[in-house]
Structure 1
Amino acid sequence: MTASAADLTAIAVAVQREWKDAFETRNLPRLSGLYADETAFYGSTATLYTDPAGVRTYFNVLPPSYVRADYDTPHVVALGTDALAATGEVTFYTSGPDGLTALPYRMTHVLVRSAGRWKIATHHASPMPVRSGH
């Protein structure tokens, strides 16, 4: 049975909510546990991480000034019965002496279902370019 677009979006949003909660509480075991055993993870650095331990390393060295992440509802594409791509925008917030600074990013997650659980197989984040008139 094929899931509806609404069902796929709900799956992606649920994973993003779990990611947000683990990120904001700096729960690194929970955060890295959201990733598939074999993953492709590009965050805001040049290093490609390929497993949950690498993902944990990335977040372990991420400055603690990163305190919040707010996702917009993603555009979701079905890639089969056990895989989907969710692409959209997330705004990260850093805390500093002048308060919070918003850092808008584009985010793509490819989610795969394994043993009944949706995990992130691919994570790609890139800074949002300045929007032009076209």
Structure 2
Amino acid sequence: MRTTVAGVAVLTALTVVGCSDPDDAEPPTDQQIAALFTTWNDALATGNPETVAALYAPDAVLIPTVSNEIRTDHAGIVAYFTDFLPNRPSAVIERSIIDVLDTDHAIDTGVYRFTLHKPEAVETVDARFTFVYEKRGDAWLIVNHHSSKMPES
């Protein structure tokens, strides 16, 4: 196959166009990414598993705090929150490290404290978390969420 100068120029132009963001969008701020956690925590307060699961991408992975089962689809995520939400959970971030990767990807990782309102008593659970967010269309969705109890707890 022969490559001509014109052919290389066309391929180079297509590569540059294909890699550039058509909207020249600015990456999100740390505050915008932090607000995604608030949205998630507010969704927990609704008590509706579908409301919470709607914040996750259809192909998201959830490694939850109080279950040994990894959830890899919408139905699994709904099932987890169906079991978890009766505890009326709410979380407060103790420490957060936000890493904005580009205009469409960010990671929020750190430590949060859950308050669970179980029938027998109120319980607190300290846990580590990682939320990986991806902007799909106009929505920021959770594509990976890992939460685990602190080993010292």
Bin the TM-score by the shorter chain. 0.7 to 0.9
Task: Measure, in 1, the Cα distance between the counterparts of 2:139 and 2:38.
Answer: 15
Task: Measure, in 1, the Cα distance between the counterparts of 2:85 and 2:34.
Answer: 25
Q: Is the 8 A contact 2:27 2:104 kept in 1?
A: no
Output aligned runs, 1:93-132, within 5 Å.
93-96=115-118, 99-130=121-152
Output aligned runs, 1:19-58, within 5 Å.
19-44=40-65, 45-58=67-80
Q: Which has the higher contact order (CA 8 A, sep 6+)?
A: 1
Q: CA deviation at 1:35?
A: 0.3
Q: Is the 8 A contact 1:13 1:73 kept in 2?
A: no
Task: Measure, in 1, the Cα distance between the counterparts of 2:76 and 2:120.
Answer: 32
Over aligned residue pairs, what C-alpha RMSD do you find?
2.2
- Are the structure 2 counterparts of residues 37 and 98 from structure 1 closer, same or farther at C-alpha, using a change threshold of 3 Å? closer
Structure 1 gaps of 5+ residues are none
Q: Which has the larger radius of gyration?
A: 2
Q: CA deviation at 1:63?
A: 6.1
SS at 1:75 equivalent: strand
Task: Measure, in 2, the Cα distance between the counterparts of 1:54 and 1:120.
Answer: 14
Number of matched pairs: 128
Q: CA deviation at 1:79?
A: 2.5
Range moving further from structure 2, 110-119 or 67-76: 67-76
Q: Is the 8 A contact 1:111 1:118 kept in 2?
A: yes
Looking at secondary structure, tell me which structure has more helix per residue.
2
Could you tell me which amino acid in structure 2 is paired with residue 86 of structure 1?
D
SS at 1:49 equivalent: coil
**Partner of 2:33 in structure 1?**
12
TM-score, structure 1 as length reference:
0.83
1:82 aligns with 2:96: no
Kindly provide the CA deviation profile for residues 8-63 of structure 1, in whole angstroms up to 9, marking residues without a partner as x: x2222211111111112212221100001111110021211112221111011226
Structure 2 gaps of 5+ residues are 1-24
Counting aligned pairs with the same residue, the percent is 27
Structure 1 stretches of 4+ moved >3 Å: 96-99
